[in-house]
Copies of this chain bind each other. A is one copy, B any other.
C-alpha cells in the first residue's frame, strides 16, 4: 500500500497503524515563522482570521515549509463568542479582551444564537480554498470547547485562576448551565459546518477544563463537551485538554474519537486509562529549545511509547513564538524517520 497524507492521518485518527504516525502541531501557523510575520505585518490578527485568502496562505506556510502531514485551519477559538455578540479584541502582548463579559442570566439571554453558515463563514471558506490549493494535504478544523469559551466570555480575558468564570458555576449554576448548553450547540454546529466544508477531522480545544476539580469537570465541562461532540458526524473528532490527568477516565467519556494529551503525561500511563482510544501528542513545546540530539531522543521516546498505531504525533501545547525553527525541523525529521521497534 502506498500511503498518502490523507490515508496516514485518517488511519491514525481511527486507531489503525499507518506507515508512521502523522505529524502536525498546534499553532503551526504562527509567530515563530518569518513568513507568517510578514503576512501579519500588514493586517491585524482578527482581520487575518476573517480573511479566507490570507488565512489560507498562513495555513499553507508551515505545511509547505516542513512538508507536514496535516494542516490546521488558521483561526481563533474566540470567533464563536464574537459571532454570538460578544466583542473581542486582541491587544498586542496582552491576549484577548472581551469588553462585555457575560455574567448574568440577562447577559446569556442577550447572546445571539448564530446560524453558523451565515455568522461564521470564514473557516469553512478557508477550508475550501486550502483544499483546492493543496488537495493532497488533509486539513483539520477546530473550535473552542464550551467550558473553555465560557471561561473567556465570563472572565473577559485570560486568567491564572478563572475566578469570575468558576464563581459563576458555583454561585449561579442555572445561568452557567444555560451558557454551556447554548455554546455546546453552537460549537457542535460550527464543527459540523467545517466537516461539511471538507475538514479531514476537527479538534475541540478544552484548554481550561483542567482548571476544574474532578467533581466540577464531571459536572460542567464533560457534559458540555459531550453535547458539542455528539452533534458532529462524518470525520474524526479530537478533544484536547490540559492539566486533566487526574480525570483522564472522564475525558474519555466525552465520546471523542481521539484524545489530545498535554506534555506532562506519560503516554504509557495515559494509554492505561484510555484503552484503545487513539491519542495525539505530546512533546513539550519547550523541548524545541533543546539541542537537536535531545529533540530526536524525545521524539523517539514519545513514538516508542505510542507504539505506532492510533497515534498522531504533535506537541502537548501550542508552539511558542520564540521557538527556534531548527528545533521544529529536528522534531519533524525525527518523527518522520521513526520506525517501530521490531517485535522480539
Query: How far apart are A160's CB and chain B's nearest CB, in angstroms?
Result: 8
Contact status B290-A171, CB under 8 Å = yes
Which residue of chain B has its CB nearest to the CB of A323? B163
A244 to B244, CA, bound (A): 10
Cβ contacts A329-342/B at 8 Å (1 or 0 each): 00000000000000
- A291: chain B residues at CB < 8 Å are 170-171
Copies held by the complex:
2
Contact status A264-B212, CB under 8 Å = yes
Query: How far apart are A243's CB and chain B's nearest CB, in angstroms?
Result: 5
Interface size class of A (residues with CB under 8 A): 35 or more
Give the residue of B163, B171, B269, B294 whose beta carbon is less than 8 angstroms from that of A170: B294
Contact status B286-A163, CB under 8 Å = yes
- A245: chain B residues at CB < 8 Å are 245-246
Contact status B171-A214, CB under 8 Å = no
- A269: chain B residues at CB < 8 Å are 214, 246
Contact status A214-B266, CB under 8 Å = yes
Q: Does residue A197 face the partner (Cβ distance < 8 Å to B)?
A: no
A141 to B286, CA, bound (A): 33
Contact status A265-B286, CB under 8 Å = no
- A317: chain B residues at CB < 8 Å are 161
Give 7 A-B pairs besides A163-B286, A244-B264 with Cβ atoms closer than 8 angstroms.
A167-B286, A170-B287, A170-B289, A210-B243, A210-B264, A213-B264, A214-B265
A interface with B by C-beta (< 8 Å): 161-163, 166-167, 170-171, 210, 212-216, 243-247, 263-266, 269-270, 284-287, 289-291, 294, 298, 301, 316-317, 320, 322
